[in-house]
Structure 1
């Protein structure tokens, strides 16, 4: 790590924007965009002067992160910590199109934030990448016409970028994110026990596909999210009945339109009929 240099400027000819020195402190250090030929001009493994966001729009370059080589496709993206070395390479003759931001602060939303020396890989929906491209253009325009309000405007851009990034995502490949989403999923379930379509609604809430949601829960429990949801409903039913609530009120609290539907669920779970006050 000590032998790695911090770099900011790419080779000449690449479309990029190094933020100029100004009287005000700006939250953005660098912007990169457009076509790249990493086969002819690879970027060696190096440290950067900030927190990196990188998105592949076209092509299949290879992202170098620490000791890993990540094969990219359109929609492959990464958020990279300040102390995490990265680089790029590709096969000879190939070209790709990317977007890069380097910010002086980490992502504003916890789920996007890697460790200082870590990184996160994201798979973004290609059809939603236009929103990221628009924010990138807005950042360039702000820097080109810098005034007393540019710093505030760029801080707003980073926040909106984080939201757009998450809304474009179909999941991540990091253990930390799986754990965070599992805990967030359980918390959502506890507060939405009335849901009649919990798997579909939870996948929308977390911003992942239903297949990814299945993997998240099976990684932790060996079972799918629906089993976890039903288990939480059963626990809540037991608690409310033990407190003396009626079967009818418990059924309504858990989202059942008819008490008989709740009774069938309870019998299937506990092999006995529910009992509460009349």
Structure 2
């Protein structure tokens, strides 16, 4: 256990050194990766209120606490904080100085992405008797920290980041879902989904992503109005039902392409009317067209052989 803790601190130190070498112009610095931000403070702060969006925040140096309702949550280096829904919080940095600034790294983390990785990796979770409230503080592992380290390095190479960063984010989610605290993390991230009617709708779309979606039928499945369906679905997944279905289709398409399927066959199998439409939407999500993606994979494989 001590050796593992030493290894965690070693990776934290590497992450800290990467960040301190950057020219950070603001306390909340948006990197070249759209979902990755760096947070810094050079002195303790007073409590400030604001909304906390679905995200995963890793403390690298310093200490902070947040008040959520009547509860105070404190976390420090080696901890991460995950939230699953927009919620009002009061945050305060407790330890920071010019010589040792408070440093944290945050990635956007819609619950739908957690659900998607769990589904695709065939990970099953059984709820226990705990009460979950959409916010969770856990301990990081070497794999999670190395994922953040990869993202920070990629942020210095925008071209590579556009292609590789989404897959690194999925790696981080996978390790969160397979660690010692996986069950608590999963149900904290999906507590709203598990506790509401929308869970049946999200499950149906996930399991039937190749089927035609009828919004009125989905609303009936969830026993809600169409407007309520759109609101609740987007609150849980960050996307509309059609957007969520499209993302699942494109992720499955990527898997098929890696398995050797050609672009036209994949487009038809995923329900697209033409390879052109498929290529356009694939590029919008992954940054490269299917042909460019396969070419880059082949080039990378050739350079390694």
When normalised by structure 1's length, the TM-score is 0.41
Output the TM-score relative to the length of structure 2: 0.38
Report the structure number with the largest CA radius of gyration.
Answer: 1
